[in-house]
Amino acid sequence: MLRQAGMNPYPADSKRTHTIGEFQDAFLILEQNREVARLTGRIRSLRLHGALVFADIDDGTGRIQALFKRDEMEDEAFDFFVAVVDAGDFIEVTGPAFVTKRGERSIAVEGWRMLVKTLRPIPDEWYGLKDEEERYRRRYLDMLLNDSAADIVRKRSLFWNTIRTFLLERGFIEVETPVLENTTGGAEARPFVTHHNAFDMDVYLRISAGELWQKKLLIAGFPKVFEIGRIFRNEGMSREHLQDYTQLEFYMAYADYVDGMPLIQELYRMIARAILGTTKFSVFGHDVDLEDEWKIYRFVDVIKEHYGIDALDSTIEEMQAALSAAGIPFDPAVTNIERGIDLLWKKVRKTISGPGFLIDVPVYLEPLAKRSREDSRVVERFQVLLAGSELGKAFSELNDPLDQRERFQAQQALRDAGDEEAQMADMDFVEALEYGMPPALGFGCSERLFSFLMGIDVREGQLFPLMRPKDGEEAKG
C-alpha cells in the first residue's frame, strides 16, 4: 500500500529539525512562536479515537505525543495513516508544539511520512519479554521494552569510560595488544584454540588483556600503560563467569602493590559514585560500603583459621582431608596442592563482604608476581574482596628473568601432568625480561565488578550474551 501510494517504506533520509529531547527543551519557545518542527522516531503506542489519533513517538532522546486530527489534515492523509501505520513503525511528523486540554505537551501533526515500516509487531510494553532465554535471544527487544535493560547499556558505557578517564588523567596511555597468540599468558585458564590459515598454524585467543605485551611496553620505556579489551577463557559458566568478557589491565613502572591500594580504593569509589550515585550497594546477600576502611586479609592466616592447615607447608593428604571435611568436591587424580588450596580459599571467600585486600598468597598460586620481601614463599599481590568475590587483582610484577623462567617451567610441568589451566611457558617473554623491566605495579579487573555493583548476574550485564542455537538452527558466525 505504501509503495502503491508512492511512499517509500524505507527511505534513506530524515529531515528532522529537532531531536525529541531538543523539542522538549525548547517547547515553550516553539509553542509561543508557533514554529513548525519536524520530528522522527518509533511509535511506541498508538490510540485511535474516531477523528483523533494519539501516537507516542520515541527517538532515544525523549518521548513526545503526536496528535493527528482529521479536521487539521487532509482526509486522505489521515485515513492513509490509520490504514498503514502500526505501533513499532518509525515515522517523521511535521507540525507546531501544542498542549492538549489535559496539559500534555504534544506536536500537532500537519504532515507525516513513513521512515521504516516494521514487519513484526513489537511486544506490548506492559508485558514485554518475560522468559529469560527469549530476553537474551532478542536482547534488542528487551532493551527497547525494559528500562532496566536499557539502563545497563548506558551504565556499562559509563563504567568503562570512568575507568578510562581516571587512568588518562593520571598519565597512562591506552594501548591495544594482540588477541591471537602463539602462547597464552597472564592468567591460569583453558584457552580457545583456532587456526591461522595464512601461517597454517594453530593459535590461541588471549586469556588476559595483554599482560605480557604490556610488560614488554614497560621494557620499551613506556612507564604507564593500560588496555580495556576482550578476553576469552574456555571454561565453565556461572553467575560470575563467562567465556568472553571485557577486562582492564594497567601497568605502572616504579610502583609496587602497596602503592596500588590507595589508587584502587579511589578508582572503585569513583566508579560507584558514577554509576550508582553512592558508594553503598547490596548484592548476593552482602552489604558493602566502599567508603569503609578496607581490611587486610592474609591468605595463610585465613586458611589456617578455617581449616587448620598450613597453606605453605601442607601435604597433599592434609589438603585432601581438609577438602573432604569442608564438603568440597574434588578429583583426587588431578587435584594437586595448588588446586586444592585454591578450592579451600574460594569457599571461605564467599563469606567475606569486604571491602578488603587479600595479600600474602603462596608463590605456587601466582607465577607472575614478585616474591615478598619478608617471606619468599608468598608473593606481593593483593586481590580486591567485595561481596564474597574477587573483583580485582594487583601485583608487584615479577621482573627477575631467572625466577620467571623457573616459574614458567614449574607451570609447564603442571600442564604436562594434565592441568589445562596452568600457564604456558613463554620463553620469548623471559628473553624480553633479560633486557630489563623496571619495578612495576600491575592491576586488572573485569566487567564482573560492573555486574556486582549493579546487583545482576554477569550474563545480564552483557549486551548480547552468547546463546546456543535453537533446535534446527545452525550456529551463526
pLDDT tens-digit profile of 396-405?
Answer: 998 999 988 9
Q: Of 154-163, 331-340, 364-373, which has the strongest mean pLDDT?
A: 154-163
What pLDDT sits at residue 186? 66
Residue 318 domain flag: no
pLDDT of residue 477: 41
Same domain, yes or no: 273 and 412 = yes
Nearest to 398 by CA among 420, 428, 422, 429: 429
Rounded to an integer, what distance in angstroms lies between the CA atom of residue 420 and that of residue 423? 8
Q: How far apart are CA 1 and CA 72, in angstroms?
A: 23
Listed in sequence order, the residues at least 6 apart from 90 whose beta carbon sits closer than 8 Å to its beta carbon are 40, 41, 42, 43, 114, 115, 116, 118
404 phi and psi, to 5 degrees? -60, -40
* Structural domain range at position 52: 20-116
d(CA 218, CA 440): 8
Of residues 470 and 104, the one with the higher pLDDT is 104
pLDDT at res. 53: 95
Tell me phi and psi for residue 183, to 5 degrees.
Answer: -135, 145
Report whether pLDDT(460) > 80: yes
The residue type at 379: V
Domain count, the chain: 2
Residues 229 and 359 in one domain: yes
CB 311 within 8 A of CB 365: no
Last residue of a domain, one of 100, 116, 132: 116
| Segment 221-270, tens digit of pLDDT | 999 999 999 999 988 777 778 889 999 999 999 999 999 999 999 999 99
Residues 219 and 362 in one domain: yes
Whether residue 188 sits in one domain with residue 49: no
68, 351, 388 from 286: Cα distances, Å = 52, 9, 7
Q: Phi and psi for 22 in degrees, rounded to 5?
A: -65, -40
Same domain, 102 and 159: no
Q: Which residue has the cell 621494557?
A: 219
Both 237 and 278 in a single domain?
yes
Question: Does 74 have pLDDT greater than 60?
Answer: yes
Q: Same domain for 216 and 289? A: yes
Mean pLDDT of all residues belonging to the chain: 91
pTM higher than 0.85:
yes
CB 107 within 8 A of CB 95: yes
